[in-house]
Chains A and B, each alone.
Chain A
């Protein structure tokens, strides 16, 4: 059997599955009787003591890892907080709330307070509160700590999702690979996996159901799949692939800060896709020419409330400052009916990817859009901001959005609030209807960025989340390259830039074609940057142009992939590639 997901940290490993099922509390709803109060308070005290002992033990273990030790110390502070302690006790003794429900209620209250803080660092502290809450509740339930800190043997960890508390103590020597059911390239798990260089495939639907403990699987975190019951031949083949990949990745690192100049002297631009806005992510700014895709959904999705103007402004300012004078392309809210937002009742849709999402939702909820635009315009004085709108299918939506931006700019002027008048406005090209009128679009925008993941799903009419139609979702479909070629020609004629910010932009097989089509701005995840630069430096644009012409006329995605693989082999001349 093969399971598919998103490869977020490259590598190929073979190993035994260990399903990780962390403690998830069930809260008592019934009140205590007065007679139970003393024993309830005693149980709470015992839980607190146990939690403190666990944290002490963790802190000792982390003595040589100051970053993690700091997190553990912060957890101790939270656990010992006198105000929360007093409030929990008074809920138990005064309101007869059972200890577990009391802990949950008080921790949730203060987590919400921190989340509403204007300070982004304080907002992050809310997740520390969640971690301590869980630890306390588990100690109260008398469940021993199940964690990934001391594994008896090397395993591939399979979980529904991993929390920061799960990964903070990760036994790096024994975690061969990570598979989770939820999460994507910008999730916490992805960032940790990349920083630890642990191969990881996330968003693998049904992983917990289909994989069992002790079963040997092949985890291919280059292609994004898990292979069960491998044959001896497959094990030999994938082991060899794994060694090649590791060797290649080791060599790649040297190129992280290299200039992405082709052999014939063209300086391409390599940008970063971001969407978590934490320190690890923003540190990537030093290695790239800017941020080509700043996803703003994290503001809405990791929160129990709709983010206000000030909260958004602070987040945007933080990103702009991290990138200094380098451009940052902010993408306005890209959510729809497949994701429920706290504080925003979205009707369920039968086809959410063909529904009210992206700019369509922004225009339907003008209050949200105007708030976001104001926050972005205000932040524009702190760096080099560009704004782009996702899911644009027709020019009238674009014109309406531009009008809103102009109105909000005028309102800021009236209020005497400064903003940068030179902000470039662009759109994501994902919807075929807008791609096909590129000649008209080019007159209305300063730039476009092609989201190849959605463009491919709409061109091929294949839901990229549905494993059943996976063979129909063809990243190398000739239509994708023809559309890209048309966009590149039209915009080049007008002297306006085209970039690609989908998966294709960081794909070593596709980069030569994009370069050959004249798309010299590529935006990708940090993990792809070094490899992409290395590849660009071996590229000859004359050859890449010929390749781009050729693949637009090959008949199938399979043929194109074979051609691209052959080209990649020739380009690297003897050095290995992770894709071969």
Chain B
């Protein structure tokens, strides 16, 4: 398993359009990918738009992004980069 801490930088947070881009990219990897809010136990399937919206990460919040599988490192790194570059 490979994990990284991410911070939401864009104003509208991780939902609507940004979330859509996120799950699309997540869906291209084989690994199981999960997100959880920093300090919380509950994990959310990062390939699910519904789960991301339920999680509702807002600007400034931190989360742990982790993946397990053959392409776990590529998946986490690519998604972390996407989050770091979100705008709007």
Is B one of A's binding partners? yes
What residues of chain A have their CB less than 8 Å away from a CB belonging to chain B?
70, 73-74, 77-78, 80-84, 110, 113-114, 117-119, 121-122, 125, 129
Shortest Cβ gap from A443 to chain B (Å): 45
Contact of A117 among B23, B45, B53 (CB under 8 A): B53
Shortest Cβ gap from B60 to chain A (Å): 14
Shortest Cβ gap from A77 to chain B (Å): 4
Interface residues of B in 1-23 (CB under 8 A from A): 12-13, 15-17, 20, 23
Contact of B53 among A73, A82, A118, A125 (CB under 8 A): A125
Contacts of A82 in B (CB 8 A): 27, 45, 47-48
Interchain residue pairs with CB less than 8 A apart (20): A70-B17, A73-B20, A77-B20, A77-B23, A77-B24, A78-B49, A78-B50, A80-B27, A81-B49, A81-B50, A81-B51, A82-B27, A82-B48, A83-B48, A83-B51, A84-B50, A114-B53, A117-B53, A122-B56, A125-B53
CA distance A129 to B53 in the complex (A): 12
CA distance A114 to B58 in the complex (A): 15
* Closest residue on chain B to residue A111 by CB atoms: B50
How many residues of chain B get a CB closer than 8 Å to chain A's CBs? 19
CA distance A110 to B24 in the complex (A): 20
Say yes or no: B54 contacts A117, CB within 8 Å.
yes
Shortest Cβ gap from A72 to chain B (Å): 12
* Closest residue on chain B to residue A117 by CB atoms: B56
Contacts of A113 in B (CB 8 A): 50, 54
CA distance A259 to B49 in the complex (A): 46
Say yes or no: B48 contacts A84, CB within 8 Å.
yes
Say yes or no: A110 contacts B50, CB within 8 Å.
yes
Shortest Cβ gap from B43 to chain A (Å): 12
CA distance A70 to B48 in the complex (A): 18
Shortest Cβ gap from A88 to chain B (Å): 12
Indicate whether A77 sits within 8 Å of B49 (C-beta atoms), given known contacts A121-B15, A122-B15: yes
Indicate whether A119 sits within 8 Å of B58 (C-beta atoms), given known contacts A70-B17, A74-B16, A74-B20: yes
Shortest Cβ gap from B86 to chain A (Å): 15
Contacts of A119 in B (CB 8 A): 13, 15, 56, 58
Shortest Cβ gap from A322 to chain B (Å): 16
CA distance A529 to B13 in the complex (A): 35
* Closest residue on chain A to residue B49 by CB atoms: A77
Contacts of B24 in A (CB 8 A): 77
Considering the complex of A and B, which 6 residue pairs feature the smallest CB-CB distances, nearest first? Answer: A83-B48, A77-B49, A81-B50, A110-B50, A81-B48, A82-B47
* Closest residue on chain B to residue A85 by CB atoms: B48
CA distance A117 to B54 in the complex (A): 7
Known: A82-B47, A83-B48; 5 extra A-B contacts, CB below 8 A, are: A74-B16, A77-B23, A110-B54, A113-B54, A122-B56
Residue of A77, A122, A125 with most chain B CB atoms under a 10 A cut-off: A77
Indicate whether A83 sits within 8 Å of B53 (C-beta atoms), given known contacts A73-B20, A122-B15: no
Contacts of A114 in B (CB 8 A): 50, 53-54
Residue of B15, B16, B53, B56 with most chain A CB atoms under a 10 A cut-off: B53
Contacts of B13 in A (CB 8 A): 119
Contacts of B53 in A (CB 8 A): 114, 117, 122, 125
CA distance A81 to B44 in the complex (A): 13
Contacts of B54 in A (CB 8 A): 110, 113-114, 117
Shortest Cβ gap from A54 to chain B (Å): 19
Shortest Cβ gap from B75 to chain A (Å): 15
B72-83 vs A: 1/0 string, CB under 8 Å? 000000000000
